[in-house]
Chains A and B, each alone.
Chain A
């Protein structure tokens, strides 16, 4: 959409705004995202986000797939954290079916989701740091992400699109020795988080690039519909795992880090602390893994009664919600609607970049942590 440059009336001269395009092909927009920036010199006056380049019609496609087939589609929305998308969907359908999931399955689902959280945050810290110039952190973070992907590959056979949950439980039990490997990974990861922090947290250049950038207060963030670590960085204590526990989270002990200043640095600190809390949860879940079945009593043909339900979980990006309407007659959902956290967080981008410089736009896109697959579906 064409944007007209306005004239800026200065003290001595009148200048005209510059309208430039960032993306859709750009190394730092984390996918195909187009941002139209209106600049006054180097300062951003306004930003207009154009998305939809990755729209594949997942919600419409779901209307023609049966309930189990949709799990494959959910993988491809937030492809960085596919297990959480799977879980959200499966739990929503289980809620619609009033199905009880056995305890062992819930524990393993928790472990998978927390591993996924660490993997997603690894990617986040790597790309965010690389956008700001610290290239080495990217490779260190991906080295750890590889370890997690290896664990997932052992469990479900895939590295990116897991299809790792089924309605009522899991497709298969964990392979023998998998839980030992998970605990070993936790031990390795502890040291690596310190490595990232050494390179970034007290680095003067990092502080200058992230402190005071993109400050947003709690009430305003809530009004904009932000969620997840982006919201918690502004001081709002909202985490679906604590507020409406799902899977095995009601039996886990963990803290939810909350920021204070609402700037990029606080969002960074929140996510770094979430690394450690995820490790805590994984250790608790793995050490206390109960025996039992891994699938609940699921009917052969899944046909929920007519009705609708909304269920949300805490994905690494924020509150991932599914709203499903079943008409009780067919094996497909009548309406499948996703509330993607990245989409809602992205709405805040124009508000965040106003008044900052071009180089900050990149830092802010990284700080919001979006995945275009989720934004566009």
Chain B
């Protein structure tokens, strides 16, 4: 019971902040609502019994990636007033069209029974370690080692690319 109340409250906050992210006029406020969103998602992870993921969510997403977004937004200074378009409602019309398309897709998927309960998972008992951190670590370095290494290489390439682009004298 308490679980359900907690879940629905957190979910309401998440959805509320998400709506605020897309509707706020000020870009910086938008980014800040995104941070709050991520913090509530971390709370969801805690509820699911994955404290490690919750902390990593805060550390990486809210504390790293969104900080980068914030840097860019602040330096680019998007406080310019919106230019007069031919059709001031162009964006909302496009948005509604896309939302309708996605809703249709979802309805088709659910109706045709392709949506199943969660796919193949590794049952917790099968792993030789207990505790969220240990289990994530075990999986990451055994079953999912190659995606892990590829992701690291990708990040390294991105870092080097950014440095090369921004450096003055090479």
Contact = CB atoms under 8 A, between A and B. Distances in A.
Interface of A: 10-12
Nearest to A40: B168
Contacts of B170: 11
4 contacts: A10-B168, A11-B168, A11-B170, A12-B165
B43 to A, nearest CB: 41
Which A-B residue pairs are the 3 nearest by beta carbons? A10-B168, A12-B165, A11-B168
A9 to B, nearest CB: 11
Nearest to A11: B168
Contacts of A11: 168, 170
Nearest to B169: A11
Interface in B28-74: none
A13 to B, nearest CB: 9
B interface residue count range (under 10 / 10 to 19 / 20 to 34 / 35 or more): under 10
Nearest to A15: B168
A12 B168 CA distance: 8
Nearest to A43: B168
Contacts of A12: 165
A11 B169 CA distance: 8
Interface in B114-170: 165, 168, 170
B116 to A, nearest CB: 50
Contacts of B165: 12
Nearest to A12: B165
A54 B168 CA distance: 41
A11 B166 CA distance: 10
Contacts of A10: 168
Nearest to B168: A10
Nearest to A10: B168
B149 to A, nearest CB: 31
A343 B13 CA distance: 66
Interface string B70-99: 000000000000000000000000000000
A76 B101 CA distance: 83
Nearest to B170: A11
A10 B170 CA distance: 12
B165 to A, nearest CB: 7
B80 to A, nearest CB: 18
Nearest to B165: A12
